Structure 1
Amino acid sequence: MRIGLLTDGGYPYATGESRLWCDRLVRGLAQHEFDLFALSRTAEQEARGWVRLPAQVGQVRTAPLWTADEESLGLHAPRGPFSRLLTGGGARTYARRERRRFATHLTSLAASVCTAGGEPGGADTARPAGTGDGAGPRAADEQFTQGLYGLAELAWEHGGLPAALRSETAVRILEAACRAPGTGRTVQTATVADLLAFTAELDRVLRPLSLDWYEEDGLAAVDLCHAASGGAAALPGLLAKRFFGVPLLVTEYSVRVRAHYLSSGGAPVSAPVRALLANFHGRLATEVYRQAALITPGNTHARRWQERCGADPAKVRTVYPGMESARFAALGEREDDGGPDTLVWVGRIEPAKDLIALLHAFAEVRRAEPDARLRIIGAPAPGPAGATYLAHCRAVAAELFPDEAAGTHAGGENPVSFEDIGDDGVPGLAQAYAAGGVVVLSSVVEGFPISLVEAMFCGRATVSTDVGAVVEVIGGTGLVVPPRNPRALADACLALLRDPERRARLGAAARARALELFTVEQNLAAFRGIYLELIAQAPVRSAPRPEPGEGPRPFATPPEAHVLGLRPEPEPEPHPGDRTPSWAGAAPGPGASDA
């Protein structure tokens, strides 16, 4: 089977959130051939290069989403006779007919995006712009799909879509859609600067419509498209299904719409731009879920988001992420309780992890158990914001424990230590979880809690906040408390610190659960069956017809097409001397002469 694996900011690049699980998938399903179609997010990611690819990877096609330079994007060459190149630049512009098509399709898309209440799960309290009375969410969704696929076909036939989306015409169309009756109150206040910011983001997200991946040796040749996320990564899968009938499988371990809502982004974004982007990503998610043959979220929490965006529950199947358990096996199989008076937190230091609440909770623990210690093991999130948050956490720790200043190592009398993997005493990840008797997760925002699963593989008892998929992952093998509640967090930690037998029972149960549900082997078995299921259900696609003037293609027709009973046999081609001229009327009777 030939799989087209679609990624956005991940595999095969050396960095990215989908890198690890995609690499495990490709290597674990070596009986299949994989073609990679990857979008990169930053110039730095491009510079870091790719991971080493296995032999079952066929071709790799990449495209950057971080640049507006058309010459470096590998865009599809225009196929129509009307497009032309501007002198001195690579931007393509349209003739009159193509300009009208572009305006029509962008108007449809803009009207659906500007619809009031267009967020996923929201009620459309006003009718969509440009629709008749009584039109509801379905009409707006239809407008979106008409505009999206219309722009895709225009890009396929004539190219030039990125330049058109950055044009004054595009801004005027969006401005008219924002001002139309029935649009949301927020988007009606959009300024020209807001519209320019939105068109820039629209150009970036829709860049896959213009790529040269939709060729006979590209996505047209694969048996199945597997998108490693929603959003931009799934767009090539939508077009492959529309143009060639290729079935689409969408896997989301981090729901793109949810990530968009929670992301603060780099630069501040105005309220109208946020509303437009939320509506656009919501409409796109709805279309992706509607066209997908199957959707595989990584947990029930993600599944609820997908169903809120319109995913058919019958097409949604939870497949937990696969994680390597072997490196934690030695620790998990020992009856080692670690530091019986020590709490351990492991992860990336950032505001979403709410280490401030953890520090306040530990102050309560310390008052009840003076010998208790807290080890915070992890690096700050990349960028100045991560370093600032780490400095803030250190300052809070010093303020809460003024007589025992927080240090940077595990020794001494310091009740709180900030460490990183590779420091003295923490040579590896397994040793980080072995450093304490109880592992704590204090997040206020969490998707699939990877650090929690790692602690379970290590056989550690855990105390976690009730966010994301935590309850689903724990399943009764740990203590769960409300987020942003230091008192409840402290009480749960104290309960486990004071009861070693309970810690041992919960740790053993947690390890058994993790080995049953969250291993790489479980993940590979699930996708092995899903691939076969989808291919068995997919209709047979006929071979593409040769171009005019091109001879027959060898092996274009599969051998089974000639098996009797499967397809009607074609009429034999008559000998040239046996043909009856069209002007001769009916065929001659039995006694007629051939002369």
Structure 2
Amino acid sequence: MRIGLLTEGGYPYVSGDARLWCDRLVRGLAQHEFDVYALSRSEHQEDEGWVPLSPNVRRVRTAPLWMAEDDEVALGRRARRRFTEYFAELAAVLCGVDEGASGAVRSLSEGAPTSEADRFATALYGLAELAREEGGLAGALRSEAAVRTLERACRAPGAHRAAREARVPDLLAVAAHLERALRPLSLDWYEDDGLGAVDLCHAASGGAAALPGLLARHFTGVPLMVTEYGVRLRTHYLTAPDAPPAVRSLVAAFEGRLATEAYTRAEFVTAGNSHTRRWQERCGADRAKLRTVHPGMDARPFAAVGESPDCADPDTLVWVGRVEPAKDLVSLLHAFAEVRKREPRTRLRIVGAPAGPEGAAYLDHCRTLAAQLFPDEADSPHLAGDNPVSFEEIGGPELPGVADAYASGAVTVLSSVVEGFPAGLVEAMLCGRATVSTDVGAVVEIIGGTGLVVPPRNPQALAQACVALLRDPQRRARLGAAARARALELFTVEQNIEAFHGIYLEIVSHAPVRRVLLDGAGAPLPFAVPAEAHVPVRWTAASPRLAAHGGPGWAADGPVRATSPVPTPEGA
């Protein structure tokens, strides 16, 4: 099978989202070929280069989203008119303008459904077809005509309030976002020698990564599946909170419509957790298409610690992660101050590096807070002048690896106020550690009753849970063992790869034959004709007379037509 893997800001680049799980997926499915189509986010990301590629990666094609490439396409009068019509309809949908009120020509809606989703799809694929015919739309999307078209939609009768209040800077910002988001329309990826040659497209995230898959499906009929381990649409709601309301409203409207279109056209939509799945359902994903595929963790680095769960210090709490404000280490430090009042021998090890300049400033703030909360530790009879809070990083003589960090304490703590799928929590479970976590993101789904969960931003509750486990070593051992068993069952690389492999086969087995591909010897390539794994019949109980004579207990209700030859046993 040949899979077109679509990424944005991640694999195969060294840095970025979804890099690790995509690499594991490709290497785990070595029997299949992968064509990677990657959209990069920055010049720095491209300069950093790629990860070492697996031999089954047949080719890689990339395109930048961080800069506009001039396609030098000058649209003729008829093409400019078509562009204005389609772009006006797209803008009208984003502004909430009724059909026809935006000034778009009637030909767009004649005989077509009138829902906003259908209007968005008509405009999107109309622009895509125009880009294919003309060789690109980069110049048109950056033109003053596009900005004026957007302005007319914002001023049209029926436009929602935020759109009506858009000023010139707002219009320019929204037009720039649309131009950047629609750059995949101008790519030459959708011919028979590109995405048209794959058996299915797998978008490794929503948003821009799914757009090439939508276009490949539209132009060549390639089936599409979409995977999201974080909710891209939710990210847009949380991004740039200081942006003007008009910008946030129109950008969110576009991203929401694009997500709905991707969910509607995809054969399957997979989520990394139930939180993401609920967002997908809310954005229009059909529940019958949804599958939950948890991220896969490599259990091997944590095997030694997990199989020997004895900790180096039964009085130590451990936090492991990336230092940033969302991790709420301030609440953790205040909670630890309460723990120390009840259990004076307890220590706290904060293990992790800061995430960028903001993380470095936050780390300095946390160090200062720790010094303020524990100023008189020199008189402590238990610590001989040592501060009970330590800030460390992986790679030193005491903590050469991540597993060593978890092994250094009895309880692992997660204090975040925002999380998606916290991989560090799974790592602690693989190490057989009892955990105390805040109820954010997919924490409850991951824990599944094998750890303690408390409300976020509640130091008192966090402290009580930590003290309860510190005082009960037998409970810690039971929870740690159960956590390790759960992690090995649900969150390993092997189960992740097996789940995607099964979905791939299911999609291809139902896909219509689009082409017949031959190898150099003239023999059909695998999956040029889809695997026959689906027989559309309804099975009913066989008659008692047939069953009495040794016949099958079930019979097909209606004729069954063989789709592939069935070998006859010898001697039959």
- Scaled by the length of structure 2, what TM-score is found? 0.86
Specify whether residues 370 and 94 from structure 1 end up closer, same or farther in structure 2 by C-alpha distance, changes over 3 A only: same
What is the aligned partner in structure 1 of residue 479 from structure 2?
506
Match of residue 114, structure 1, among 92, 95, 115: 95
Specify whether residues 374 and 138 from structure 1 end up closer, same or farther in structure 2 by C-alpha distance, changes over 3 A only: farther
Map 1:160-179; keep pairs closer than 5 Å. Answer: 160-179=136-155
Match of residue 173, structure 2, among 189, 193, 197: 197
Map 1:501-540; keep pairs closer than 5 Å. Answer: 501-540=474-513
Shift of 1:129: 5.9
Matched, 1:55 2:29: no
> Are the aligned partners of 1:322 and 1:519 in contact in 2 as well (CA < 8 Å)?
yes
SS of 2:225's equivalent? strand
Deviations 1:260-311 (A, max 9, x none): 223348xx52221111111111110000000000011011111001001000
> Are the aligned partners of 1:337 and 1:504 in contact in 2 as well (CA < 8 Å)?
no
Shift of 1:369: 1.3
Q: Percent identity?
A: 66
What is the aligned partner in structure 1 of residue 341 from structure 2?
367
Specify whether residues 555 and 515 from structure 1 end up closer, same or farther in structure 2 by C-alpha distance, changes over 3 A only: closer
Map 1:576-587; keep pairs closer than 5 Å. Answer: none
For residues 436 and 261 of structure 1, the distance between their equivalents in structure 2, rounded to whole angstroms, comes to: 38
For residues 307 and 483 of structure 1, the distance between their equivalents in structure 2, rounded to whole angstroms, comes to: 26
Map 1:75-90; keep pairs closer than 5 Å. Answer: none
Shift of 1:403: 2.5
> Are the aligned partners of 1:114 and 1:129 in contact in 2 as well (CA < 8 Å)?
no
SS of 2:513's equivalent? coil
Shift of 1:437: 0.6
Specify whether residues 25 and 66 from structure 1 end up closer, same or farther in structure 2 by C-alpha distance, changes over 3 A only: same
Shift of 1:231: 0.5
For residues 21 and 170 of structure 2, the distance between their equivalents in structure 1, rounded to whole angstroms, comes to: 37
For residues 429 and 287 of structure 2, the distance between their equivalents in structure 1, rounded to whole angstroms, comes to: 30
> Are the aligned partners of 2:136 and 2:185 in contact in 1 as well (CA < 8 Å)?
no
Deviations 1:330-387 (A, max 9, x none): 00000313321111111111111111111111111111111111111111112x2221
Specify whether residues 506 and 39 from structure 1 end up closer, same or farther in structure 2 by C-alpha distance, changes over 3 A only: same
What is the aligned partner in structure 2 of residue 22 from structure 1?
22
What is the aligned partner in structure 1 of residue 391 from structure 2?
418
Shift of 1:177: 1.1
For residues 339 and 469 of structure 1, the distance between their equivalents in structure 2, rounded to whole angstroms, comes to: 29
Matched, 1:152 2:124: no
Specify whether residues 138 and 324 from structure 1 end up closer, same or farther in structure 2 by C-alpha distance, changes over 3 A only: farther
Deviations 1:382-414 (A, max 9, x none): 2x2221221222222222222249xxxx99611
Deviations 1:427-459 (A, max 9, x none): 110111111110001111111110000000000
Specify whether residues 289 and 23 from structure 1 end up closer, same or farther in structure 2 by C-alpha distance, changes over 3 A only: same
Shift of 1:559: 11
For residues 376 and 101 of structure 2, the distance between their equivalents in structure 1, rounded to whole angstroms, comes to: 64
Matched, 1:96 2:77: yes
> Are the aligned partners of 1:128 and 1:140 in contact in 2 as well (CA < 8 Å)?
no
For residues 493 and 264 of structure 1, the distance between their equivalents in structure 2, rounded to whole angstroms, comes to: 36
Specify whether residues 69 and 412 from structure 1 end up closer, same or farther in structure 2 by C-alpha distance, changes over 3 A only: farther
For residues 171 and 101 of structure 2, the distance between their equivalents in structure 1, rounded to whole angstroms, comes to: 17
- Scaled by the length of structure 1, what TM-score is found? 0.83
Specify whether residues 491 and 332 from structure 1 end up closer, same or farther in structure 2 by C-alpha distance, changes over 3 A only: same
> Are the aligned partners of 1:9 and 1:41 in contact in 2 as well (CA < 8 Å)?
yes
Shift of 1:555: 7.8
Specify whether residues 171 and 404 from structure 1 end up closer, same or farther in structure 2 by C-alpha distance, changes over 3 A only: farther
Match of residue 272, structure 2, among 282, 295, 298: 298
Shift of 1:530: 0.9
What is the aligned partner in structure 2 of residue 340 from structure 1?
314
For residues 449 and 426 of structure 1, the distance between their equivalents in structure 2, rounded to whole angstroms, comes to: 21
Runs of 4+ in 1 over 3 A off after TM superposition: 126-132, 554-561
What is the aligned partner in structure 2 of residue 495 from structure 1?
468
For residues 143 and 519 of structure 1, the distance between their equivalents in structure 2, rounded to whole angstroms, comes to: 42
For residues 33 and 219 of structure 1, the distance between their equivalents in structure 2, rounded to whole angstroms, comes to: 13
Match of residue 213, structure 1, among 171, 189, 199: 189
Shift of 1:247: 0.5
> Are the aligned partners of 2:204 and 2:227 in contact in 1 as well (CA < 8 Å)?
yes
For residues 374 and 131 of structure 2, the distance between their equivalents in structure 1, rounded to whole angstroms, comes to: 62
Matched, 1:247 2:220: no
Map 1:376-387; keep pairs closer than 5 Å. Answer: 376-382=350-356, 384-387=357-360
Aligned residue identity for 2:81: R
Map 1:67-78; keep pairs closer than 5 Å. Answer: 67-70=67-70
Matched, 1:181 2:157: yes
Map 1:404-553; keep pairs closer than 5 Å. Answer: 404=377, 413-542=386-515
Matched, 1:353 2:327: yes
Specify whether residues 559 and 194 from structure 1 end up closer, same or farther in structure 2 by C-alpha distance, changes over 3 A only: closer
RMSD: 2.5
What is the aligned partner in structure 2 of residue 311 from structure 1?
285
Deviations 1:203-256 (A, max 9, x none): 111111111111211001000001100100000100111111110011111121
Shift of 1:138: 6.8
> Are the aligned partners of 1:128 and 1:182 in contact in 2 as well (CA < 8 Å)?
no
> Are the aligned partners of 2:323 and 2:353 in contact in 1 as well (CA < 8 Å)?
yes
For residues 159 and 414 of structure 2, the distance between their equivalents in structure 1, rounded to whole angstroms, comes to: 42
Map 1:546-561; keep pairs closer than 5 Å. Answer: none
Deviations 1:141-185 (A, max 9, x none): 122111111111111110341111111111111111112222221
Match of residue 280, structure 1, among 254, 268, 271: 254
Aligned residue identity for 1:338: A
Shift of 1:103: 0.4
SS of 1:13's equivalent? coil
For residues 315 and 237 of structure 2, the distance between their equivalents in structure 1, rounded to whole angstroms, comes to: 39
For residues 412 and 197 of structure 1, the distance between their equivalents in structure 2, rounded to whole angstroms, comes to: 56
For residues 39 and 330 of structure 1, the distance between their equivalents in structure 2, rounded to whole angstroms, comes to: 39
For residues 99 and 130 of structure 2, the distance between their equivalents in structure 1, rounded to whole angstroms, comes to: 28
> Are the aligned partners of 1:343 and 1:436 in contact in 2 as well (CA < 8 Å)?
yes
> Are the aligned partners of 2:309 and 2:433 in contact in 1 as well (CA < 8 Å)?
no
Specify whether residues 416 and 201 from structure 1 end up closer, same or farther in structure 2 by C-alpha distance, changes over 3 A only: same
Matched pairs, number: 517
For residues 212 and 240 of structure 1, the distance between their equivalents in structure 2, rounded to whole angstroms, comes to: 11
> Are the aligned partners of 1:129 and 1:183 in contact in 2 as well (CA < 8 Å)?
no
Aligned residue identity for 2:88: T
For residues 164 and 225 of structure 1, the distance between their equivalents in structure 2, rounded to whole angstroms, comes to: 28
What is the aligned partner in structure 2 of residue 139 from structure 1?
115
Specify whether residues 556 and 456 from structure 1 end up closer, same or farther in structure 2 by C-alpha distance, changes over 3 A only: closer
What is the aligned partner in structure 1 of residue 537 from structure 2?
none
> Are the aligned partners of 1:93 and 1:160 in contact in 2 as well (CA < 8 Å)?
no
Match of residue 214, structure 2, among 238, 241, 245: 238
Structure 2 residue ranges without an equivalent (≥5): 107-112, 531-561, 565-572
SS of 2:296's equivalent? coil
> Are the aligned partners of 1:227 and 1:237 in contact in 2 as well (CA < 8 Å)?
yes
Deviations 1:504-552 (A, max 9, x none): 10000000000000001111111111111110000111469xxxxxxxx
> Are the aligned partners of 1:296 and 1:319 in contact in 2 as well (CA < 8 Å)?
yes
Deviations 1:551-571 (A, max 9, x none): xxx88999999xxx989xxxx
